[in-house]
Each structure stands twice: as C-alpha cells, then as structure tokens.
C-alpha cells in the first residue's frame, strides 16, 4: 500500500491548494471563471502547458509507442512544438486583447458578437462541449489505471496475486489490486471535482502549476532510475535491435507515411480547445505570452521524450500486452522495477499529468454558465452568486457523467486513440472557424455555420465507420497496415489497428481542409458583416500615424 499512500498524500496536497485558492478568491463570476484576468507570468505558462498535457501525453503516448515505436515522438511532439506556440502567439494574444477590451470569457461569446449570431454560438457550444467530454473521461480513466497499477497485491513469494474475474461474459485472470480501477477513478474524480468546485479558475491554475512542475521533474527521474535498475539504456536498446519482432519499433516502419503526415494537422486543435482558449483570457499582461511561446517547446520535449522512451523499453520488459492494457505500461514499469517508495513518488508525478483534466472541467463549466445560463438571461435575473453556484452544480454533474463512462470503457479503448479520434480531430477541424473570425474581415456567420455542420457530420461519419469496420481488424495480416472497408470503393476508406483512414490519411486532414473551403465559400456567397462589426474588431488605422483608431 506504500505507493498508494504516497499518491494519497499528493491528492491531499492538491485538494488543499484548491481550498486555499477558494479562500483567496473574490465572490464574482469573473474571478471564479477567469481568475479576474490576473494570472502571473509563470503560473500562466505552467498552467497553460499543464492543461494541455493530460493522460494522453504520459499514458497514451507511452502506450502508443509500445505498439507503434519511436516514431510516435515525431507524430505529435515535433509538430506540436512548432504549431502550438505559433497559434498561442498569433491567436492567443488576440483573444486576450479582445477579452480585455470587450469582456469575453469564452470563444463562443466572441463568435456570437463577431458574427452577430446567437444560434451559431449555441451550436458551437454544443459541438465543443460534446467533443470535450471524451477529454475529461480520459483523465478519469488515467487516474483509475494509475491507482490500480501501483496497488498490485503480492503474495509471500513476492509475485502478484491473480484472481478470476468476468470480462464481457468470459472468465479471465487478472492481478488483484488494493485499489481497483473503479475506486481509483472515483477518488481522482472526487478530488478534481472538489478543488475545481471551490477554487474555480484560480484553484485550477494553481494546482496545474504545481502538477506541471511535478510531472516535468518526475519524467527525467523516472528515466534515470529505471535505466539504472534494468541494466542501462544501451543494454535494452541492443536487445530490442536484435529482436526481429521489436526492431521495427526503433524506426518509423509501423507508421505509414500518409498517416505520419496527416498528424501535423492535429496540433491545430490546441487553440480551439476551450480550456486553452479560456486560459488565454486569464493572463494579467499580454507580455506573459512571450515566455510561454519560448518555453512551450522545451516543456514538450521534457515530457514527451521520457514517455516515448519508457513506452519503447516496456515493449521489451512487458511483452504480450493487449491494446486495452498498454495504457498501464509506465505504472507497471514503476511497480516492477523500482522500490515501493519510489514507485509512489513517481506515481504521484504520473497522477499530476493525468489529473490535468481539471482544466477541461473548468472550461466546460465556464462555457455552460457564460454561453448558456448568462447569455439566455440567467445572470441578469438571478445575479452573480447564482451563476457561480450553477457552475458548481454543473461541475458535480459532469464529473459524475465522466466517471460512469470511464468505468464503462475500462480496458476497451486506448487513451491516445480515444483522444485522437473523438477530441483532437474535431477541434482541429474547427480551426478554420477561429482563423476566419480572427484574420478575415469578410468571413460571415454562414461560412462558420457550414464549417461547424461539416465537423458534426464528419465526426458522426468517422464514429460510424470506426464501429462498422471493427471486425476487419481480425483480418489484418502481419506487415499489412490497412484493409479496405468497402471493396467497391477501393482504398478510399481503409481500416487499420489505429482506426479509420481516408486514402491512408487520418480523417483530421480532410476534415480541416474541407472545413476551410466551406468557411471561405459560405462567406463569399453571403452578405459581408455590418461595417460596425468590422470597425469593432478590425479598427481602421490612422492615416497620419498608422496607429489603430480607438
């Protein structure tokens, strides 16, 4: 129980930080939802990075590396290190400025005012809320899996105790745990719910800052300790290189070129994530974005390199894991190859990354209270205090729903695949809407309508294709990455172990490109925005000085 006890201490610390933030807060909606736009430079940087590095980064990336190799680092980390800082610099700073000037707290409130369409804003809220829920579920899943993995029961001989359980109507043997997945997920959901409930955005940002420092440091420590305990980095790499089955993991052989290329579109999702966009409204000064843009790529390297490395060596040290079990590779490594105390300390570092889903819960709550409750008259009718308590009730509901779904999905989905398929792709496909609103005066509500409806249709289509083609995975032969879903359509729709592709490309690529075309066409065939709106969001420059007219 020692590793679990150490993690419990960590959970108590983050809970205290949230309560402390509650005592420092002000009783206003702006303070509760965007921390009075007063976050300092380092809190802003670390919380912004931490909010984007949830369970998919530390558990999902290592699990994907286990099956697909070192090329996983190139898939996400390299593209993200370039694209995300650029979007924060060019779009995040403008969001901050517009929020400061016009009082916006969410993307939806900006889109509504920018295009003068209340119904468009409601549609975008519904779409982004549905796509954000899987992200929250991922956090609960990750918490449950970490708690379960670090609490394996061992017998007198030091070996893990096996018990027989029923899975999908079949009796299977699994390790016995002091803390089962369901209880671990419940504990994480309860702690996150508590400090978000009390601390609001300030508590969430402070906890994220603490968690980011912890998991950035623990990643390097985990690699150093595990490398020493398993006989050295070079020994394991040589063993993998000499194994015909594992050697392809050291190259990009298991990731086709078309799929690798299309992953570059995934980081476009960052600025459309509500938790990232809303975080941009919280900075005290626009100058805080400078260090964020500089240090963000370094932080990505600091977390992704250890995760990919640990996922790689686990293919040698933990052979034979099934797809639903690969999320556990890092906790399993810590449990088997470190002392119980070190497993607990490093497990707390993993938990710090897993629990970053608090920002998604806070973002969804802010959107609901601002874009639905307040927009449709709730704030004017009932006041600030009722708005805050409405948000708190919503936090309880969303945490409960996320927990129930996470329990239902136990061992059925890889965290990384779940995030890519149902969260990142949809948000990336909405990027043309944000770019059109920010930088194209001629963009209109019709263009945005068409782009958003296309995302809805595409997401439903991908979901249907994925479920329909699930049985085809069994027909895949070694060395064959894909099989056609419909024989008459040739290679248009293909199914591989990672999901559905279109001519070998991930669905995110055509989703983004077609969304951009619809945004342009819809805007050009409709009337231009009123001149008052254009002057408001694109103020003319003074002819003599070149300065923007107030």
DSSP reduced 3-state for 56: helix
Instruction: Give CA–CA dist 83/85, Å, rounded.
Output: 6
Cβ pair 140, 408 in contact under 8 A: no
How much of the chain, in percent, has pLDDT values that exceed 90? 23
HSE (side-chain half, CA atoms, 13 Å) at 342: 17
Kindly report the backbone phi and psi dihedral angles of residue 476, in degrees, each rounded to the nearest multiple of 5, phi listed first. -70, 130
More confident residue, 286 or 175: 286
Higher pLDDT, 493 or 540: 493
Give the pLDDT of residue 78. 80
Average of pLDDT values for 146-159?
67
Options 1.20.1730.10, 3.30.70.370, 1.10.357.10, 1.10.760.10; CATH for 2-248+274-411 is 1.20.1730.10
How confident is the model over 397-411, as a mean pLDDT?
83
State residue 543's pLDDT score.
44
Mean pLDDT over 128-143 rounds to 81
Residue with more model confidence, 274 or 331: 274
Burial of 101 (0-12, 13-18, 19+ CB in 10 A): exposed
The reported pLDDT for the residue numbered 155 is 61
pLDDT, position 550: 45
Q: Is the pLDDT of residue 225 over 80?
A: yes
- Is-contact 20 213, C-beta < 8 A? no
Q: What's the rounded mean pLDDT across residues 387-414?
A: 83
Q: Kindly tell me the sign of the dihedral angle through the C-alpha atoms of 309, 310, 311, 314.
A: positive
H helices present in 286-383, as ranges = 288-317, 329-337, 340-354, 358-367, 378-382
Tokens of 31: 């303070």
d(CA 529, CA 421): 34
Q: Give the sign of the dihedral formed by CA 132, CA 135, CA 137, CA 140.
A: negative
User: Higher-confidence residue: 203 or 481?
Assistant: 203
Which 3 state secondary structure label does DSSP give 160? strand
211 has pLDDT over 80: yes
Mean pLDDT, residues 67-84 taken together? 84
Given a cut of 70, whether residue 160 has pLDDT beyond it is: no
With 0-12 / 13-18 / 19 or more C-beta atoms within 10 angstroms meaning exposed / middle / buried, residue 369 is buried
How far is the C-alpha of 515 from the C-alpha of 51, rounded, in Å? 26
In the three-class reduction of DSSP (H, G, I as helix; E, B as strand; rest coil), residue 410 is classed as coil
Asked if residue 499 has pLDDT above 90, the reply is no
Locate the domains of the chain by residue range: 2-248+274-411
Mean pLDDT of the region 524-532: 93
Residue 333 and residue 229: Cα distance in Å, rounded? 11
314 — pLDDT class (breaks 50, 70, 90): confident
pLDDT in tens, 275-306: 899 999 999 899 889 888 888 888 888 888 88
Average pLDDT, rounded, for the chain: 83
User: Which pLDDT belongs to residue 526?
Assistant: 94
CA dihedral 519, 521, 523, 524 (to 10 degrees): 160
In this structure, are residues 149 and 178 in contact, taking their beta carbons and an 8 Å threshold? no
87-119 pLDDT tens trace? 999 999 999 999 999 989 999 999 999 999 999
Q: Would the pLDDT of 408 be above 70?
A: yes
Per-range mean pLDDT, top range of 123-127, 227-231, 260-264:
123-127
Comparing 17-21, 156-160, 426-430, the range with the smallest average pLDDT is 156-160
HEC states along 78-91?
Answer: HHHHHHHHHHHHHH
> Alpha-carbon Rg of the chain, whole angstroms?
24
Q: Which of 108-117, 140-149, 459-468, 482-491 has the highest mean pLDDT?
A: 108-117
Q: What is the pLDDT of residue 173?
A: 61
Angle between helical axes of 445-468 and 107-115 (0-180°, round to 10): 130
pLDDT at 515: 95
- Across the range 67-90, mean pLDDT stands at 86
Is the pLDDT assigned to residue 123 strictly greater than 90?
Answer: yes
Q: Which residues are within 8 A (CB) of 26 and not within 5 positions of it... i.e. 6 or more apart?
A: 36
Q: pLDDT of 7-61, one tens digit each?
A: 788 888 888 888 888 887 777 888 888 888 888 888 888 888 888 776 666 777 7
pLDDT of residue 415: 52
**534, 521, 548, 432: which is closest to 116 by C-alpha?**
534
Task: Give 339 or 235, the one with higher predicted confidence.
Answer: 235
């Amino acid at each position: 129980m020692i590793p679990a006890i150490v993690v419990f201490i960590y959970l108590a610390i983050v809970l205290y930080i949230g309560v402390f933030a509650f005592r420092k807060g002000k009783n206003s909606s702006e303070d509760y939802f965007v921390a009075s736009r007063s976050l300092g430079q380092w809190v802003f940087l670390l919380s912004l990075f931490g909010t984007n590095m949830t369970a998919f980064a530390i558990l999902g990336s290592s699990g994907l590396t286990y099956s697909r190799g070192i090329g996983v680092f190139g898939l996400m980390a390299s593209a993200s290190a370039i694209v995300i800082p650029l979007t924060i610099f060019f779009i995040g700073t403008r969001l901050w400025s517009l929020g400061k000037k016009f009082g916006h707290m969410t993307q939806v409130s900006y889109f509504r005012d920018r295009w003068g369409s209340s119904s468009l804003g409601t549609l975008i809220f519904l779409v982004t809320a549905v796509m954000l829920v899987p992200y929250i579920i991922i956090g609960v899943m990750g918490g449950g899996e970490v708690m379960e993995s670090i609490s394996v029961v061992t017998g007198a001989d030091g070996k893990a105790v096996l018990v027989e359980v029923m899975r999908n109507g079949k009796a299977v043997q699994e390790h016995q745990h002091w803390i089962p997945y369901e209880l671990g997920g419940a504990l994480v959901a309860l702690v996150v719910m508590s400090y978000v409930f009390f601390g609001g955005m300030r508590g969430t940002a402070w906890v994220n800052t603490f968690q980011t420092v912890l998991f950035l440091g623990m990643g390097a420590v985990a690699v150093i300790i595990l490398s020493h305990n398993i006989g050295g980095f070079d020994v394991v790499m040589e063993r993998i290189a000499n194994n015909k089955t594992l050697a392809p993991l050291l190259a990009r052989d298991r990731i086709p070129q078309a799929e690798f290329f299309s992953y570059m579109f995934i980081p476009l999702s960052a600025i459309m994530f509500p938790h990232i966009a809303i975080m941009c409204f919280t900075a005290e000064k626009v100058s805080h974005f400078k260090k964020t843009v500089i240090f963000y790529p370094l932080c990505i390297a600091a977390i992704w390199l250890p995760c990919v490395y640990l996922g790689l060596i686990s293919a040698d040290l933990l052979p034979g894991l099934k797809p639903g079990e690969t999320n556990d590779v890092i906790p399993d490594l810590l449990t088997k190859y470190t002392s119980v105390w070190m497993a607990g300390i490093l497990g707390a570092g993993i938990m710090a990354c897993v629990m970053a889903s608090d920002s998604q819960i806070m973002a969804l709550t802010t959107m609901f209270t601002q874009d639905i409750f307040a927009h449709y008259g709730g704030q004017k009718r009932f006041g600030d205090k009722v708005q805050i308590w409405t948000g708190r009730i919503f936090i309880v509901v969303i945490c409960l729903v996320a927990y129930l779904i996470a329990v239902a999905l136990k061992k059925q989905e890889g965290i990384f695949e779940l995030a890519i398929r149902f969260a990142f792709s949809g948000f990336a496909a909405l990027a043309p809407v944000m770019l059109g609103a920010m930088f194209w005066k001629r963009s209109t509500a019709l263009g945005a309508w068409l782009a958003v409806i296309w995302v809805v249709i595409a997401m439903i289509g991908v979901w249907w294709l994925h479920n329909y083609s699930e049985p085809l995975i069994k027909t895949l032969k070694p060395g064959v990455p894909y099989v056609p879903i419909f024989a008459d359509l040739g290679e248009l729709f293909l199914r591989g172990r990672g999901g559905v592709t279109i001519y070998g490309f991930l669905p995110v690529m055509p989703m983004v490109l077609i969304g951009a075309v619809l945004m342009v066409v819809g805007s050009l065939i409709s009337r231009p925005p009123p001149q008052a709106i254009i002057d408001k969001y694109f103020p003319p420059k003074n002819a003599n000085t070149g300065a923007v007219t107030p």
